A and B are shown apart, each in its own frame.
Chain A
């Protein structure tokens, strides 16, 4: 296989990894106001992703870095072309990232409430916009002979692009609910499972429409098979959730997302960014790539270190394998200050005195 093809596959794998991992922690973030009924349950939800969200996010940094190294032209055209959506994603990731760490640093419902909003919006925006961005990459965007994107923000917001956004949004919500069901115990576990099925049906319908549309637009036999298996995985996952088999249910959404992304990349190949202006201007794995020497060096490094990364990231999930329930959430901090008033009303909502 050509090294450019190898790196196209590796970048596809990085995006698959990113979407299946951060996909569920975006889902958990967005479901915060829907699934949790009180502060204890909100903390249960946040703690299910607490130790792992940052490691999940590194997948997108690695995908970005790998694209820069292996396909500099793809990186340059994509990142400068999708300027405003990427800016919004970055702002969302910034406020979301600090929220997890800062939310518990002060007592008081107002303080936590602001960070909850940051988590919710910060999870919603990328969950939607990554889908819009990917749909546009696969569909093609106006690119001129100098490899420059010639559209604007509105160019990206066509029905196919927006549908792509709704699909990732729906899938991540389902995936997040599955994860909460898998990682918690008590009442919230059952509510999460029930919600996963309800949201999952909507997400499945959207996903099928989107994948069929993609299939008609650029698909071949391979994509048809991959998309079909993705759909089966999703339906099987929802079925498992109905039978309260949470592990299998989570694996269902896990593989559905991974395969859907894989199918999109297969549909894209050998282009990396098709041009709607003229097929001659499309960026391909050949025209956008780095030199053979750079790809060789990178391949050796990736071959050595990727297994190590996978091993310790898997290990960390094993360390934190225990389900979390409301009685696991330590209470001293809350009772110590801020919540001295047992009526449940925070005497110092802004946390000014404390």
Chain B
């Protein structure tokens, strides 16, 4: 194994998984905070402004991390994956550039206006800023997911032999790739679940801990979040199902790897909830199986054939070659690491389902003015954002590991994409450097979150009415918000 390749993959994995804790959380929170502020504007109920400011502050602590860890992503393709960048740049670069131009400017500028604009912008415009930030996060997701979907299922391109790279033929085909159409709703709805779980967990803890006076506020917060979680959860399930069928169509190996289905099953393929087998995943000793479910997940029919790994491996060898010295394709093994795909697929679905059930359970427990104040209730509630966050991570680990050995499916293997001129020592330095800085920041960020959750929402303060013309007295007033 080439160690620069392994190190670069570990670095990409660590920095990307870490970045993607903050991404879904802030996509979800930006929407929910925008809704809360809008509810306050409509109803003028003080508690909604208090919740807006409280969760707005927690949102800012998280988006700061999302922004800075995102810069690494933009640079890393060129730094560690220069041959990948040369190969895909004509196609992959455009969504990245457009993402920065359309989304990052929008998010950063209007976030600044939201943070500092309480005394400077009319109230509806202030709430509008958070809505625009949310639209920015959606635009950003659209472009980066379109870029990723192209890696899963290249469309709208041709391979140019003279330049040795993939070249764009149809920008719209890339933007509306069918993989993208399944992935975007799945990822965004999962992000809404994540933001909602965060609000649900923290509101429930404060509901149990805080004095009677604030209970109705936190109860409102957690019920609002629970509804979002359930509705988004159902949407995640439906979109995931659609995605599974598209995946079976364009990357049958990934579906086979998700189930560790070695032999093709001609009809009624079972789905295993648990398997105990050998460490390489090739032989199962015992499995808890549900008949025909895999056929349904993969094709929409319980009696359809699902292709197995052995078959696909043979087929891919014929199509892409088995010669390890081949200049076009360096590897003859087209099977991903099965235990990783098998378990990440299950954990993704399991954590998602449990998350949605927590939301449903909370709605039931808090019906008709009821609400439990027992400690277990808070513990289960606060575990839900952690579960949903991990569900997001294993979902992406499944998607990306399930595509291996390809970086661009059918066109370029991961080993062909790595930077040839970067040394192992250099990647060691950056891998260790990023990991250490990220660890320190994780401790700081969790510490801050715990601190603010313990404090709870600040008391209500009527925000100042912004004036277009300031008097001398106004001019000397302290800022409503300052760093």
A binding-site residues for B, Cβ under 8 Å? 43, 46-47, 50-52, 54-55, 57-58, 61-62, 64-70, 72-73, 75-81, 83-84, 86-87, 90-91, 93-95, 97-98, 100-106, 146-150, 290-291, 293-294, 297-298, 301-302, 305-306, 309, 312-313, 316, 319-320, 322, 324, 327-331
Contacts and interface: CB of A to CB of B under 8 A. Distances in A.
Contact of A306 (B101, B106, B120, B171): B101
A331 B60 CA distance: 21
A331 B482 CA distance: 10
B47 interface: no
A67 B85 CA distance: 11
Contacts of A70: 93, 97
B61 interface: yes
B478 interface: yes
Contact of B483 (A50, A69, A83): A50
Overall SS of chain B's interface = helix
Nearest to A329: B482
B90 A313 contact: no
Given A61-B104, A330-B478, A68 B78 contact: yes
Interface in B71-97: 71-72, 74-75, 77-80, 82-83, 85-86, 88-94, 96-97
A3 to B, nearest CB: 13
Interface stretch (B198-206, B228-236, B387-395, B430-438): B430-438
Contacts of A148: 82, 420-421
A101 B67 CA distance: 11
A50 B93 CA distance: 30
Contacts of A54: 67, 108-109, 111-112
Contacts of B96: 65, 68-69
B64 interface: yes
Contacts of B420: 146, 148
A102 B78 contact: no
Given A65-B100, A80-B80, A51 B113 contact: yes
A309 B103 CA distance: 10
Contacts of A150: 421
A287 B177 CA distance: 29
Interface in B93-147: 93-94, 96-102, 104-106, 108-113, 115-117, 120-121
Contacts of B102: 301, 305
B426 A312 contact: no
Contacts of B100: 58, 61-62, 64-66
A51 B430 contact: no
A1 B116 CA distance: 43
Contact of A320 (B93, B120, B171): B120
